[in-house]
Structure 1
């Protein structure tokens, strides 16, 4: 039902560039999938997809390292690109107005191969950041909103610490504690593991 490809490249914003490894998640079955975050290497992602139909290429947010393979992957698969429109300014930094996407809406449900993904708008890391909740699988795809060890970074343009904290508290920590959190970078975690950690992290005044 779930598959992962780790791709490598760079993340650039505010004049800086960093080397990053990204988790690209595939949710679905043997016939069709949704690709979550087309990062760096469209060919590697398409290879993992294999002969399956791609119902959508969902961007959890529009930082370049999460979308820089989306155009090529869409060309290879014929799948629509989906993004929350609040990240338009970041999308334009990569693609201008040359690559269309279909807007994601909070509460929208996406389906592929018997897997239902509910879109949760969780701004903070970026204005249009979303997480995807698959309640039947007990899984959350958190993009860069929540990691093992705390919230995603908010020290760059178009980000807000107060906003990401509100998103995590109100939208994510209310999910079942046993929910597995598959992140945009690094190791997976769980809501149970991160809830107390987040409170301690906040108490330190970061």
Structure 2
């Protein structure tokens, strides 16, 4: 499918979320800004695509570090207005490290400000098209997705990927998440969508197939929540490895023990010693072809 002429999608990879640029006649906007270590690249991509125009608005679907880590750099570069999910406003205003996810996941995010908030039911004009903001809890309790009924396009963030969805983080801390994922998938299934732009991975058109895969994966996790915890700890370590590219094996145990979400998932579901958990997670990444051990280093493998 060919996108409308007023849209550009920057597919970024798994460390940074995809970015969607809108080039409307009256204003420009960007949805999601990637991870902080890629912020300079994000600014360069956006500046090049704008071709001398100004970036007017930055929107975040949710505030995980890989979706908003470029916010501060974009604000400095363009002095753009920034809109975040309404439920996150108080946390960002005070920059509450205990409630924002960056400390809990061991990830980075440069502090940023915001000008506006977006809530489910809000209607936005982006790229001269009308978009609906819809609540999409599950992966993140306050995540939004954006839907354009006229073009049948869905910006799904981490609520739906071609082969699944993002880690169900609330369940790791004993909160409800699986039921919310199911409700979000049902909501997406109720929409007339022909083209999905996910938070990670290439845009896709086989929406029914993706939903079937997502529902099946959800049933797999609901059947045994330990599987979600196992997936989460692998994802958390893989993210650190993507960021650093290599980690000394001798530092892994202390590094992972300092990540509260990693510890919470272990305490509730996995019940391994710190050493056992570090070795298990490394073995899983190596077996999946996502990492390799070279002498005394765990090395990223794409």
TM-score (ref. length: structure 2): 0.56
Aligned-pair CA distance for 1:52: 3.1
SS at match of 2:17: strand
SS at match of 2:18: strand
Q: Which has the higher helix share?
A: 2
Q: Is 1:186 aligned with 2:214?
A: no
Q: Is 1:65 aligned with 2:80?
A: no
Select 2:18's aligned residue among 14, 23, 33. 23
- Shift of the 92–86 alpha-carbon distance from structure 1 to 2, 3 Å rule, reads farther
Select 1:3's aligned residue among 3, 8, 25. 8
- Counterparts of 1:70 and 1:139 in 2: how far apart (Å)? 24
- Counterparts of 1:159 and 1:27 in 2: how far apart (Å)? 34
Aligned-pair CA distance for 1:91: 7.2
Aligned-pair CA distance for 1:132: 0.6
- Structure 2 residue aligned with 1:47: 48
- Structure 1 residue aligned with 2:212: 196
Does the CA contact (< 8 Å) of 1:28 and 1:115 recur in 2? no
Does the CA contact (< 8 Å) of 1:122 and 1:129 recur in 2? yes
Q: Which has the higher strand share?
A: 1
Aligned-pair CA distance for 1:149: 1.5
| Long gaps (5+) in structure 1 | 9-18
Give CA-to-partner distance per residue, 1:87-117, whole Å, 9 cap, x none.
Answer: 3332786455x62342111111111331222
Aligned-pair CA distance for 1:6: 3.5
- Structure 2 residue aligned with 1:128: 142
The count of aligned residue pairs is 193
- Shift of the 55–116 alpha-carbon distance from structure 1 to 2, 3 Å rule, reads farther
- Counterparts of 1:63 and 1:79 in 2: how far apart (Å)? 20
Q: Is 1:33 aligned with 2:28?
A: yes
- Counterparts of 2:54 and 2:150 in 1: how far apart (Å)? 21
- Structure 1 residue aligned with 2:80: 79
TM-score (ref. length: structure 1): 0.80
- Counterparts of 2:126 and 2:218 in 1: how far apart (Å)? 37
Q: Is 1:173 aligned with 2:189?
A: yes
Structure with bigger RCO (C-alpha 8 Å, 6+ apart): 1
- Shift of the 119–45 alpha-carbon distance from structure 1 to 2, 3 Å rule, reads same
Does the CA contact (< 8 Å) of 2:160 and 2:211 recur in 1? no
- Counterparts of 2:31 and 2:148 in 1: how far apart (Å)? 13
| Long gaps (5+) in structure 2 | 1-5, 92-98, 104-108, 225-302
Provide the aligned C-alpha RMSD in A: 2.6
Task: Look at both structures and tell me which one has the larger radius of gyration over its CA atoms.
Answer: 2
- 4+ residue stretches of structure 1 with deviation over 6 A? none
- Counterparts of 2:56 and 2:124 in 1: how far apart (Å)? 9
